[in-house]
Structure 1
Amino acid sequence: MALFSFIFGLAFGSFLNVLILRLPKNESILKPSSCPNCNQKISWYNNIPLISFLLLKGTSSCCKEKISFHYPFVELLTALITLFLFIKLEISYSFFFSLIFFYILIVLSFIDLKYKAVPDYLLLILFIFSFFMTEHSFLEAIKAACIIAGAFVLLNFLISFYIQNIKAKILKDESLKTQEALGEGDIPVLASFAIVLGINASLIAIFFAALFAIIPSIYNTYKNKDIEIPFIPFLSLGFIVEYFLEITKVIF
């Protein structure tokens, strides 16, 4: 069953790639897979998750252009998360609800990486399924979500005020006057994490997310690049670390 869960994750990872590619473009997710470079239809034997990428050596079978590494990465990541969830929860209702939650989180993360924006309906679905994952009562879950989300709304206001009114004047950069510290999609994701994990564990997840986000931030500073860093992927990483390792139980 563990092997089956991994293979199932690989197969579903391929579908998540379709969602990541097509949802932001409002394209049908039911049409056959096609090459992202030349739009030629991909044969089934060239569309086997992970295996086809390795056999084709990372190039398209039709136009020989390089295939983005994010395709096999999403497939492998989905397979590993499916396997870890099976080991943690076994076959249960919690397992299937958790699968949906994590799959949506993967889609949100990679859309945010590419477009720096995410569809609102995916955030809503993530928020709804967080209630099916939580071990807390409904009132406790709502309380945790309000505290975490509210705290970050206030933090976003304070940091954004500094960026738009102080930093913009110091650097004389007009573009900073519309820049915000957090994206609109970050708050619902944080609220969803609070519902699943509770307040203490959410803070640990956010701490790890901040640590992970420091790495590209330092790199951009070193390269003198002022690039907006999407935060949902790092929030997701922090959530994965806390959810599976349960670091909060060690600390508290």
Structure 2
Amino acid sequence: MELFYQTIMFFLGASIASFVNAWAMRLGGEESIMNPSRCRACDTPLKFNQLFPVLSWLKQRGHCGCKKQQKISIRYFLTEVLLGIIFLVLFTNMQIFSDKTEFIFYLVFLSIALHLFLTDMEYQQLYLPMMLTGIGVGLGYGFYLDQLVLHFYGALLGFILLFVTNWLFQFFRKKQGLGDGDKFLLAMMGAWFGPLLVLQGVVLSSWIAIIFMAFLYLKNKTIPTKIAYGPFIILSSIFIQLNQLFIIF
């Protein structure tokens, strides 16, 4: 029975990742998420058996099931597998901790974070209604933990920190250094996990961004003038929080 529930949790995570992937892609193309899934090469509607997360990608060997057999990016497969594994790990450990409500909060957070990660990475666009929803639910999580004031200060610190940083950059360099959505994103992380994670996240995300830029320079011998900072904030925040939960390091 335990294996059954673990399998359900894995495919729940994979299904949410599949949905979020589709939503992020359609948001970038200004297309409604309510439209049926279709092949991007020939507009053929996808059949039900072509929409199973993880399994359909494997069965079709990374290609669309229509006649054109268009290649599907491995990103979709990896995202589904990764979120499925994270859901499974959280389910197993939260059962040990016996806190199913907190487990549900974490699932909501990861789903929102994945959506923001994909839209910013792909289109350099952070969806403000999603971030405001994330801030609201994060404060609700703080209320559940009886730490609402601490989480409110976390959201406030996250917003102010990047707002002031960007203002100073604009004042001295006469141009914007950060995207408009980054301050709301860091505010969301603070709303979920408090002021300490905000400070740790800024430091770690900056180092990840520096390493990423160094990699791009070594690979292409040039540094892009603009990159999305949101994915680094999300990755660093998730890593820090998982490390606190499971003591990875």
TM-score category by the smaller chain?
0.7 to 0.9
Aligned to 2:77: 72
Quote the offset at 1:250 in angstroms: 10
Aligned counterpart in structure 2 of residue 57 of structure 1, from 54, 61, 83: 61
Rounded to whole Å, the distance in 2 between the matches of 1:38 and 1:182 is 38
Aligned counterpart in structure 2 of residue 98 of structure 1, from 103, 106, 109: 106
What's the Cα RMSD here?
2.3
Residues 44 and 142 of structure 1, relative CA distance in 2, 3 Å threshold: same
Aligned counterpart in structure 2 of residue 117 of structure 1, from 125, 130, 147: 125
Quote the offset at 1:226 in angstroms: 2.4
Contact 1:113/1:233 (<8 A) preserved? yes
Aligned to 1:196: 192
What TM-score, normalized by structure 2, do the two folds share?
A: 0.85
Contact 1:220/1:227 (<8 A) preserved? no
Aligned to 1:14: 18
Quote the offset at 1:136 in angstroms: 5.2
Residues 205 and 32 of structure 1, relative CA distance in 2, 3 Å threshold: same
Aligned to 2:231: 233
Quote the offset at 1:47 in angstroms: 2.1
Aligned counterpart in structure 1 of residue 115 of structure 2, from 77, 91, 107: 107
Give the secondary structure class of the aligned counterpart of 1:246: helix
Identity among equivalent pairs (%): 25
What number of residue pairs does the alignment pair up?
A: 236
What TM-score, normalized by structure 1, do the two folds share?
A: 0.84
Aligned to 1:129: 137
Aligned to 2:241: 243
Quote the offset at 1:59 in angstroms: 1.7
Aligned counterpart in structure 2 of residue 83 of structure 1, from 72, 78, 88: 88
Q: Which deviates the most, 91-100 or 43-52?
A: 91-100
Name the amino acid aligned to 1:81.
I
Name the amino acid aligned to 2:179.
G
Contact 2:14/2:53 (<8 A) preserved? yes
Unaligned runs of 5+ in 1: 165-177
Rounded to whole Å, the distance in 2 between the matches of 1:243 and 1:126 is 16
Rounded to whole Å, the distance in 1 between the matches of 2:193 and 2:146 is 9
Name the amino acid aligned to 1:241.
F
Quote the offset at 1:4 in angstroms: 1.9
Quote the offset at 1:101 in angstroms: 1.7
Quote the offset at 1:67 in angstroms: 0.8
Quote the offset at 1:53 in angstroms: 1.4
After the TM superposition, which parts of structure 1 deviate over 4 Å for at least 4 consecutive aligned residues? none
Residues 132 and 94 of structure 1, relative CA distance in 2, 3 Å threshold: farther
Rounded to whole Å, the distance in 1 between the matches of 2:81 and 2:248 is 29
Unaligned runs of 5+ in 2: none
